[in-house]
Amino acid sequence: MKQIKLEPGLRYDGSQIKPLWAFQDLRVKGSSIVNWIGPMNIQPDELIDYEDVGLEIKSDEMIHFIIEHFDAQPADMRLCYHRQRILVMIVKDLLQEIGIKTQRRGDDLYCNGGKLSVSIATCSASSMKIHFAMNLTTKGTPSDVETAGLMECSRDRGVDEISKLADKISETYVNEILDIEEDIAKTRVF
């Protein structure tokens, strides 16, 4: 599974959740996790989460993760949402380690009562995709939702530290998936 970091600036508009985005736009073939810092503004017709219909999904600066898995064929939404949860729990854990305490409800993280993150999982017949992103600040987030930003939860963190944290999250996730595969290969079944 490849681990990619993009230059800051790419706007997440919902098109990146589409299958094979990493191959078509980044020439990354196979399972991958990509992270970058950039704004978000999801176009209504790119919505994947039908609970979000009619809502504004936007923020001026976020740390984004896009994951694509090709290992399970055909792709499996159930497995995909389990992986999303594992990702979110890894993030919560690594934030805790650097002193940022968050609460998790499903696939959302909260900080001081404000919503810190957005996330969705989806799939086609052949690949499973996850998007997870956290606000750096609350700038540009919807006015009708209480939001939080990583740099505000913990004022002394700079963008650099968050960028490093992102790499640590990617690496931990990749290792976790690898570790699970290894556990399958040591286990007797009935």
Inter-CA distances, 80 with 8, 71, 75, 115, 122, Å: 27, 11, 8, 23, 7
What is residue 132's three-state secondary structure?
A: strand
Does residue 189 touch its own copies according to CB under 8 A? yes
The torsion angles phi and psi of 175, rounded to 5 degrees, stand at -65, -35
One-letter amino acid of 104: R
Contacting residue, 26, 79, 94, 159, with its own copies by CB under 8 A? 79
Site string for its own copies, 106-145 (x = CB under 8 A): xx------------xxxxxxxx------------------
Site string for its own copies, 18-37 (x = CB under 8 A): xxx--xx----xxx------
C-beta atoms surrounding 16 within 10 Å: 21
C-beta atoms surrounding 57 within 10 Å: 22
Does residue 156 touch its own copies according to CB under 8 A? no
| Interface residue list for its own copies (CB under 8 A) | 18-20, 23-24, 29-31, 47-51, 53, 70-79, 81-83, 85-86, 89-90, 92-93, 96, 104, 106-107, 120-127, 176, 179-190
